[in-house]
Amino acid sequence: MTLDAAEPLAIDPLLDDPGTRIIVCCGSGGVGKTTTAAALGVRAAERGRKVVVLTIDPARRLAQSMGIDSLDNTPRRVKDVEGDGELHAMMLDMKRTFDEIVEAHADPDRAKAILSNPFYQSLSAGFAGTQEYMAMEKLGQLRARDEWDLIVVDTPPSRSALDFLDAPKRLGSFLDGKFIKLLMAPAKMGGRAGMKFLNVGMSMMTGTLGKLLGGPFLHDVQTFVAAMDTMFGGFRTRADATYRLLQAPGTAFLVVAAPERDALREAAYFVERLAADDMPLAGLVLNRVHGSAASRLSAERALAAAESLEEPPDPADASAENPAENLDDRRIVDQEAGKAGDRGSSDSSPHAVASDAHASNADVSHAHASDADAAGARAGIDPDQVGSDQVGPDREVPDQESVERLTAGLLRLHAERMQVLAREQRTRDRFTALHPEVPVAEVAALPGDVHDLAGLRTIGDRLAAGGPPAGAA
């Protein structure tokens, strides 16, 4: 089975559907999730949607690509977006989101006590799982405001992306845990019974914990838990509501990956986990897929031709006496010129392979034009000195050896590219064999990084096209 058997992922219908309210991009690190989320936001906005892109990744790439100096917890409108839609972007500020929840759900005196509590300050700044829970809170806030008709979420890298899904359950386990219940007990009990309970049981526990954690720290925790007691139920309720929102038909998960073994293995894990949690999966976005305009020329034939060109000439070969006879006007090995006896009936000889490969040499030169300098460096020559159109009063016509070395370098670069294509194809095929039901959109690799709206539009166009680049299939 090949990737051609997979259903193509239709991006534009997904973005245009008014029923699509949330798109969550998840995947392992370094596969282009942030760029994909930004490109989806730009394309949706320019097709008429009012979009906000929420990134949880603290990297500044999203702000830079959208022409914004910095992102914070407040959505900022992106300028220079074409069309009738709007695009806003923001980055999750974990502590500020936590502060907003406290301020919104506690009276002023209790909110002040909580915000100044040392344990709360540590918890809100970086306690394990807090970021993912706050992301759930922020997503719920954005959806409840109903100010945007599409929310695009860029999740943290690696498997922590699925911590986004686990946050409500972990929070519930934390709030229902025995440790929290014990700490909350003094606040819930009063009178003699409460004092007796404290004197008999709590004094032993708090004394032990005080030695392990420090008395001031334990006091801070107890004060925090007592102040937050009335808010715990609200945390759990809102987290559960957001979790159900992620399971709703208006949500679409896009798993983002690269055509590499580890990235697609993680992608397969995400697909299986989303299915287990009844989350609506829209499909797989496969970034940085390589192609070649000269895919007719295999890696094996290209290497054989390169080796033939790199072989020292045979003194007995008549063509060695007049090497220009074997060069066409572009100074590349001519397919037709030369003595018939050199090709004869031995079509499998290295020289025959080099000659037969000429039909694709022009394609190779065009497809790898940006690699010419690298090829020249490998060959130890200056590519600027190659080509009859470069001849000047101070520049000599390159000899046959220079041309052949440059051609051999280009052929070797092409062979490496074709080997990459074959490896990517095998990796994609393994994923498709495991999950043939998952629609796939492929995005051809760009020669450089995306750093502005024009680059994001290019990515959006390639996402919408969805098909493999030339030579990738």
What share of the chain has pLDDT > 90, as a percent? 29
pTM for the model:
0.74
Does 197 reside within a domain? no
Closest CA to 25 of 240, 245, 251: 251
In 29-162, DSSP assigns E strands to 50-55, 76-77, 86-91, 150-154
Range in 280-294, 338-352, 379-393 with the lowest mean pLDDT: 338-352
In this structure, the answer to whether residues 364 and 252 fall within a common structural domain is no
In this structure, the answer to whether residues 127 and 264 fall within a common structural domain is yes
346 touches 352 (CB < 8 A): yes
pLDDT band at residue 183 using 50, 70 and 90 as cut-offs: low
Q: Which of 417, 444, 460 is the last residue of a domain?
A: 417
In this structure, the answer to whether residues 331 and 387 fall within a common structural domain is yes
What share of the chain has pLDDT > 70, as a percent? 62
pLDDT band at residue 314 using 50, 70 and 90 as cut-offs: low
In this structure, the answer to whether residues 59 and 127 fall within a common structural domain is yes
Distance CA 1, CA 73 (A): 46
Mean pLDDT of the chain: 75
- Residue 286's H or E segment, with its range, is strand 281-289
44 touches 67 (CB < 8 A): no
Sign, Cα dihedral of 459, 465, 469, 470:
negative
The residue-averaged pLDDT of 184-202 equals: 47
Indicate if the pLDDT at residue 275 is higher than 50.
yes
Of residues 440 and 5, more confidence is placed in 440
Of residues 352 and 231, more confidence is placed in 231
99 touches 138 (CB < 8 A): no
pLDDT of residue 92: 84
Closest CA to 361 of 424, 406, 399, 397: 406
The residue-averaged pLDDT of 11-38 equals: 92
Distance CA 256, CA 36 (A): 8
Close Cβ partners of 190 (under 8 Å, ≥ 6 residues apart): none
* Displacement of CA 465 from its chain's centroid (Å): 18
In this structure, the answer to whether residues 262 and 341 fall within a common structural domain is no
pLDDT of residue 333: 44
- Residue 444's H or E segment, with its range, is strand 440-444
Range in 156-170, 251-265, 341-355, 380-394 with the lowest mean pLDDT: 341-355
Q: What range does the domain containing 108 cover?
A: 3-167+239-289
pLDDT (tens digit per residue) in 142-181: 998 889 999 999 887 655 556 777 766 676 666 555 556 5
Range in 76-90, 280-294, 368-382 with the lowest mean pLDDT: 368-382
- The total domain count for the chain is 2
Does 110 reside within a domain? yes
Q: How many CB atoms lie within 10 A of CB 366?
A: 10
Does 464 reside within a domain? no
Does 449 reside within a domain? no
Does 234 reside within a domain? no
- The β-bridge relationship of strands 86-91 and 76-77 is antiparallel
In this structure, the answer to whether residues 339 and 270 fall within a common structural domain is no
Please list, residue by residue across 228-267, b when 16 or more beta carbons sit within 10 angstroms of its beta carbon and e when fewer do. beebbeebbebbeebbebbeeebbbbbbbbbbbeebbebb
Indicate if the pLDDT at residue 199 is higher than 50.
no
Does 76 reside within a domain? yes
Does 255 reside within a domain? yes
In this structure, the answer to whether residues 247 and 324 fall within a common structural domain is no
In this structure, the answer to whether residues 260 and 341 fall within a common structural domain is no
pLDDT of residue 171: 63
Indicate if the pLDDT at residue 337 is higher than 50.
no
Q: Which of 289, 310, 327 is the last residue of a domain?
A: 289
Does 155 reside within a domain? yes
Distance CA 299, CA 413 (A): 9
Distance CA 54, CA 34 (A): 10
Q: Which of 259, 289, 319 is the last residue of a domain?
A: 289
Of residues 208 and 424, more confidence is placed in 424
Indicate if the pLDDT at residue 195 is higher than 60.
no
In this structure, the answer to whether residues 65 and 144 fall within a common structural domain is yes
In this structure, the answer to whether residues 65 and 115 fall within a common structural domain is yes
Distance CA 252, CA 384 (A): 51
In this structure, the answer to whether residues 142 and 83 fall within a common structural domain is yes
Closest CA to 182 of 204, 160, 162: 204
CATH number at residue 130: 3.40.50.300
In this structure, the answer to whether residues 63 and 134 fall within a common structural domain is yes
pLDDT (tens digit per residue) in 386-404: 444 444 555 555 677 788 8
Indicate if the pLDDT at residue 229 is higher than 80.
no
